[in-house]
């Protein structure tokens, strides 16, 4: 496996938007780009595919500099949110199309198309026109079409966004299984954190044209390096605090807290930070609480309760409890944090 199979270091400037990105993708990796609408995910995919040119920098794929190579010569597959299938062609015609463009001999083309129809279990739809298909079926055809020419790299731009939740989850699982079976390298764009976390080997979190953090789903969720990453990938309490270095790690003083916390060795300088605690890691306690405060919200979620506790003039802590809940609105409670679950994040200027 080549670790730096795809190397990207580019800038792109539009009148009201600047993109600056630098990351690598390993061969056979399923890599996600995740971030809110307008952060530059599609622009980045367009640069990789050749639909747009970077202003500066380079894109290297398997050792070959693609920066000035035309789209048609890159052998990169693209699956779009709106499928972009040819409505006048049948399912079979759509899958065969890319192979025709690559001038594959007719026999090989037919054989490969049959393989793809079987792989995606859409053989029964071969002669249907694509406008007569359901959304899920169309997306299977779009994936089959993109993978038919055995691209070096598959780019997927929110491919399941138009589908309902259940189907999206099913296709997501199927795609992941297919990717581990065939071993193709893929970059998957989504603005949904759940999708990115469940699919990716590694992911890059983007905001306003910048990549804030790259890492495995677990690393980025558990050790966000930036407040935006912490809150974008899930709910998080971000508590202003001061950290002092000790031989064992850090002693942390959360703003308005009843006591300090001792954190095992963590990198980074002492001084002002944000203490990140996920709602599921905030616990009720009667003994030696970090905070005390008033329960101001209790929301029943079925699998548990979302609870908010006001612990200071400007600080409300979010909790996610299990099915048992023996506290009531207005009650004074003590709170502690699950050991090992709190993280320090540098406080932005
Ligand atoms: P979404 O999730 O909504 O698709 P995105 O993260 O994919 O968003 P982009 O489509 O990459 O975001 O757009 C990023 C920014 O670049 C937007 O502000 C957009 O208006 C701007 N932009 C994209 N293409 C052009 C262009 N050709 N000319 C000018 N501005 C552009």
- Whether 12 and 47 map to the same domain: the answer is yes
The total number of structural domains that make up the chain: 2
| CA–CA dist 194, 214 (Å, integer) | 16
- Whether 247 and 202 map to the same domain: the answer is no
| CA–CA dist 17, 224 (Å, integer) | 25
* Binding site membership of 38 for ligand 1 (Cβ less than 6 Å): yes
- Whether 154 and 61 map to the same domain: the answer is yes
- Whether 124 and 185 map to the same domain: the answer is yes
Which protein residue has the closest C-alpha to ligand 1 atom 30? 14
pLDDT at 87: 86
228, 254, 282: which is the final residue of a domain? 228
How many Å lie between the centroid of ligand 1 and the Cα of residue 14? 9
pLDDT at 83: 67
CATH number at residue 176: 3.40.50.300
- Whether 76 and 224 map to the same domain: the answer is yes
- Whether 203 and 244 map to the same domain: the answer is no
* Binding site membership of 41 for ligand 1 (Cβ less than 6 Å): yes
- Whether 207 and 250 map to the same domain: the answer is no
Which protein residue has the closest C-alpha to ligand 1 atom 5? 38
* Binding site membership of 40 for ligand 1 (Cβ less than 6 Å): yes
* Binding site membership of 190 for ligand 1 (Cβ less than 6 Å): no
Counting ligand 1 atoms within 8 A of each CB, the residue from 41, 53, 156, 206 with the most, and so the one to mutate, is 41
Mean per-residue pLDDT pooled into runs of 10, the chain (349 residues): 90 96 95 94 94 94 91 87 82 90 86 90 89 86 90 91 83 86 91 84 94 94 92 93 91 94 81 94 95 97 96 95 92 93 84
205, 228, 251: which is the final residue of a domain? 228
* Binding site membership of 191 for ligand 1 (Cβ less than 6 Å): yes
- Whether 201 and 243 map to the same domain: the answer is no
- Whether 147 and 271 map to the same domain: the answer is no
* Binding site membership of 14 for ligand 1 (Cβ less than 6 Å): yes
CATH number at residue 245: 2.40.50.140
How many Å lie between the centroid of ligand 1 and the Cα of residue 190? 14
Counting ligand 1 atoms within 8 A of each CB, the residue from 43, 51, 188, 189 with the most, and so the one to mutate, is 43
* Binding site membership of 12 for ligand 1 (Cβ less than 6 Å): no
pLDDT at 182: 86
- Whether 221 and 268 map to the same domain: the answer is no
186, 203, 228: which is the final residue of a domain? 228
How, if at all, do strands 249-254 and 261-264 pair? Answer: antiparallel
pLDDT at 102: 79
- Whether 246 and 219 map to the same domain: the answer is no
* Domain, as residue range, for 307: 235-346
| CA–CA dist 189, 45 (Å, integer) | 8
- Whether 191 and 119 map to the same domain: the answer is yes
* Binding site membership of 81 for ligand 1 (Cβ less than 6 Å): no
| CA–CA dist 339, 286 (Å, integer) | 16
| CA–CA dist 232, 301 (Å, integer) | 21
């Amino acid at each position: 496996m080549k670790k730096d199979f795809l190397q990207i270091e580019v800038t792109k400037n539009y009148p009201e938007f600047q993109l600056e990105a630098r990351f690598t993708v390993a061969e056979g990796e399923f890599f996600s780009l995740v971030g809110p609408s307008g952060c530059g995910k599609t622009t980045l995919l367009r640069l990789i595919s050749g639909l747009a040119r970077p202003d500066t920098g380079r894109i290297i794929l398997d050792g070959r500099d693609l920066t000035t190579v035309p789209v048609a010569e890159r052998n990169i597959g693209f699956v779009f949110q709106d499928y972009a299938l040819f409505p006048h062609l049948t399912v079979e015609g759509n899958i065969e199309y890319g192979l025709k463009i690559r001038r594959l001999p007719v026999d090989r083309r037919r054989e490969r198309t049959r393989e793809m129809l079987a792989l995606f279990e859409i053989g029964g739809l071969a002669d249907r026109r694509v406008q007569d298909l359901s959304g899920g079926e169309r997306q299977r055809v779009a994936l089959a079409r993109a993978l038919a020419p055995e691209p070096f790299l598959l780019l997927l731009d929110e491919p399941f966004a138009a589908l309902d939740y259940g189907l999206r989850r099913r296709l997501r699982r199927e795609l992941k299984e297919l990717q581990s079976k065939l071993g193709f390298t893929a970059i998957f764009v989504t603005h949904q954190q759940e999708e990115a976390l469940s699919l990716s080997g590694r992911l890059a979190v983007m905001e306003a044209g910048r990549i804030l953090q790259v890492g495995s789903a677990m690393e980025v969720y558990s050790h966000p390096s930036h407040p935006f990453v912490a809150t974008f990938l899930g709910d998080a309490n971000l508590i202003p605090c001061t950290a002092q270095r000790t031989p064992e790690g850090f002693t942390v003083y959360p703003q308005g807290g009843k006591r300090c916390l001792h954190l095992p060795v963590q990198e980074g300088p002492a001084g002002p930070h944000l203490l990140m605690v996920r709602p599921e890691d905030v616990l009720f306690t009667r003994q030696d609480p970090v905070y005390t405060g008033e329960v101001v919200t209790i929301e029943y979620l079925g699998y548990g309760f979302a609870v908010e506790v006001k612990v200071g003039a400007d600080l409300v802590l979010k909790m996610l409890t299990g099915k048992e809940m023996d506290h009531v609105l207005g009650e004074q409670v003590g709170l502690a944090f699950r050991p090992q679950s709190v993280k320090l994040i540098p406080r932005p200027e």
